[in-house]
């Protein structure tokens, strides 16, 4: 007796997801017309027996088969971080048999609330917003009624699903690592006002200190710093008392802090330890290489697309925020605090 052909068999034959096959054969939106036809043809070739309700596919309500991805010019310029997320999104969208439409948003379009044509004209079934543009702009996108998912950004005034890094727990782990090495004078450096992520990392820094019975020393909390080499050099040079360790909100700050310490003749990690966040290229190019918190950027893209497709099919469900874990990568920039520090 011949084996009954399943949707998984069709998906395997076309190297796409089972969910895409199900959407195509049930007449639901979420796949392009070209992919739908490929699925229907392969189902016929393999002898797949469709249920009666799937036979009237031509009369079923269909979407465009397109997903929109938008971000600010600045976010798209950060290729080492958001570029990797974009590649993951592109791959995942293809797996689901859909097309990805991309548009950067410049400051003029942002300030005048000019939406990309594929959003304004309803040519996409869902929208992914990468990082922060502005609350007003994001809410203008949401107001179109097109399902929207945020990536690496959220705000109380934005009512949309979000895929986020668990910034508090990640920062907590980084500072805990320094505390376990015997450090007590630990600096925080970053611009907490620039991003909710950096504010949450400050909260994680505070939580780690508090749980270990260490009182925050405000003279070591630099929470309004611009990510600029000259500014960081001036900061380190101007300190009367140096911290024994630095927690930096991203790898850019970690790179600048390590360089500034070196210029001041402060050896890393013998005299000062440095921990950063993101595990980007800058953390690996320095000497010594910087201990950092790793973020799975490929997972970011996959979860964003999965959540958007789910939201397209469950428009009335409550808003969901998904926190992705981080992992401490210990390298050569951290060491035990010197006796007497």
DSSP 8-class letter at 123: -
Which segments of the chain are extended strands (E)?
66-72, 99-105, 126-130, 148-151, 161-165, 186-189, 221-222, 245-248, 273-278, 291-295, 321-324, 326-329
CB neighbour list of residue 95: distance below 8 Å, 6 or more residues apart: 16, 17, 20
Q: According to the model, what pLDDT value does residue 245 have? A: 98
DSSP 8-class letter at 278: E
pLDDT tens track of the chain, all 341 residues? 457 788 888 888 888 888 788 777 776 666 777 888 888 888 878 877 765 333 333 333 458 999 999 999 988 887 767 778 999 999 999 999 999 999 999 999 999 999 999 999 999 999 999 999 999 999 999 999 999 999 999 999 999 999 999 999 999 999 999 999 999 999 999 999 998 999 999 999 999 999 999 999 999 999 999 999 999 999 999 999 999 999 999 999 999 999 999 999 999 999 999 999 999 999 999 999 999 999 999 999 999 999 999 999 999 999 999 999 999 999 999 999 987 55
DSSP 8-class letter at 303: H
Euclidean distance between CA atoms 257 and 264, whole angstroms: 11
Query: Cα dist. 106→76, 113, 125, 154 in Å?
Result: 11, 10, 23, 20
Q: Which two tokens stand for residue 18?
A: 């089972």
Q: According to the model, what pLDDT value does residue 62 have? A: 55
- Length of the chain equals 341
Q: Which two tokens stand for residue 37?
A: 């036809």
Q: According to the model, what pLDDT value does residue 60 have? A: 32
Q: According to the model, what pLDDT value does residue 56 have? A: 32
DSSP 8-class letter at 280: -
Q: Is 145 exposed, middle or buried (0-12, 13-18, 19+ CB in 10 A)?
A: exposed
DSSP 8-class letter at 53: G
Euclidean distance between CA atoms 23 and 25, whole angstroms: 6
Euclidean distance between CA atoms 6 and 47, whole angstroms: 10
Euclidean distance between CA atoms 108 and 122, whole angstroms: 22
Could you tell me the pTM of the whole model? 0.80
Q: According to the model, what pLDDT value does residue 59 have? A: 31
Strand, coil or helix: what is 102?
strand
CB neighbour list of residue 31: distance below 8 Å, 6 or more residues apart: 20, 23, 24, 39, 65, 96, 97, 98
DSSP 8-class letter at 147: -
Token pair 């043809």 is at which residue? 41
Q: Which two tokens stand for residue 203?
A: 């909260």
- Chain mean position to CA 140: 22
């Amino acid at each position: 007796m011949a084996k009954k052909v399943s949707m998984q068999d069709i998906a395997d034959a076309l190297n796409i997801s089972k969910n895409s096959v199900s959407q195509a054969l049930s007449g639901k939106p979420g796949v392009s017309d070209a992919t739908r036809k490929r699925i229907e043809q392969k189902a016929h070739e393999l002898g797949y027996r469709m249920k009666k309700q799937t036979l009237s596919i031509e009369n079923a309500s269909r979407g465009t088969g397109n997903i929109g991805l938008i971000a600010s010019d600045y976010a798209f310029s950060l290729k080492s971080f958001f570029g990797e997320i974009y590649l993951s999104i592109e791959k995942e969208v293809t797996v689901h048999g859909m097309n990805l439409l991309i548009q950067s948003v410049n400051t003029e379009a942002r300030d005048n609330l000019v939406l990309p044509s594929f959003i304004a004209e309803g040519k996409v079934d869902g929208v992914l917003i990468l990082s922060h543009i502005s609350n007003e702009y994001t809410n203008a996108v949401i107001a179109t009624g097109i399902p929207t998912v945020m990536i690496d950004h959220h705000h109380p005034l934005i009512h949309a699903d979000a895929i986020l890094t668990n910034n508090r727990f990640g920062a907590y782990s980084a500072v805990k690592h320094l505390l376990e090495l015997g450090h007590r004078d630990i600096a925080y450096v970053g611009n907490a006002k620039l991003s909710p992520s950096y504010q949450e990392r400050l909260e994680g820094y505070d939580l780690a200190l508090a749980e270990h019975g260490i009182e925050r020393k405000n003279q070591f909390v630099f929470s309004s710093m611009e990510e600029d080499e000259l500014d960081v050099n001036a900061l380190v040079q101007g300190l009367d008392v140096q911290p024994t360790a630095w927690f930096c909100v991203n790898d850019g700050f970690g790179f600048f802090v390590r360089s500034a310490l070196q210029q001041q003749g402060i050896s890393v990690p013998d005299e000062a330890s440095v921990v950063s966040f993101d595990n980007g290229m800058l953390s690996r190019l320095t000497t010594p290489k910087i201990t950092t918190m790793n973020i799975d950027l490929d997972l970011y893209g996959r979860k964003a697309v999965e959540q958007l497709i789910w939201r397209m099919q469950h428009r009335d469900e409550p808003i969901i925020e998904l926190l992705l874990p981080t992992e401490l990568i210990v390298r050569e920039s951290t060491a035990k605090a010197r006796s007497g520090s």
